[in-house]
Amino acid sequence: MESTASGSGALPEQKRLAFGDEPKQGERTERQQPSVSSDSKLYPKPLDGVIAPVPSRKYAPGPAAPRWPQRVWLIIFVVFCVELGMLLVVLPWTPLWNDNYLLLNFPKLRALAQWGFVRGAITGLGVVDIWLGIGEAVRQHRRTKR
């Protein structure tokens, strides 16, 4: 079957353009991709079974970061954890815990705070906080020994 431009609404024939050619105004075209043979020069065919090594980039080491800011923050963190932990260990067992001004308006919450279980849980949090601070100091000391 032949199709003609003046026939029953068939599309006109499309002209193929080579890579880089520009179509004329109003002309329907289909772009032709570059041939495979020209690509083989740019991208050589890999050998079967051979994996090319990935090039590694080696950077020159820069100046070492100063350690004093890390040590200052470590000291602040350890002191904070130990002090907060000691406060949480001791405070639930003092008269200040029973006569808390903030809990005077809430009698049910005050009764809950006086339970031994709640006091023990708060003391346990204090012990964990002390352990966290001292453990971080020990870990940092071991890291700097290496």
Contact 145, 107 (CB under 8 A): no
- Band of the pLDDT at 66, cuts 50, 70, 90? confident
The residue with greater pLDDT, 58 or 121, is 121
Kindly give, in sequence order, each residue whose CB lies less than 8 Å from that of residue 141, ignoring residues fewer than 6 positions away.
Answer: none
Q: How far apart are CA 37 and CA 15, in angstroms?
A: 23
Q: What mean pLDDT do residues 83-96 have?
A: 95
The better pLDDT of the pair 103, 14 is held by 103
Phi, psi of 65 (to 5 degrees): -70, 145
pLDDT value of position 69? 85
- The domain limits of the chain are 76-145
CA-wise closest residue to 119 among 89, 95, 83: 89
- The residue ranking higher by pLDDT, 44 or 37, is 44
Burial class (CB in 10 A: 0-12, 13-18, 19+), 116: exposed
How high is the pLDDT of residue 54? Answer: 62
Q: What is the pLDDT of residue 118?
A: 94
Mean local confidence (pLDDT), 93-115: 88
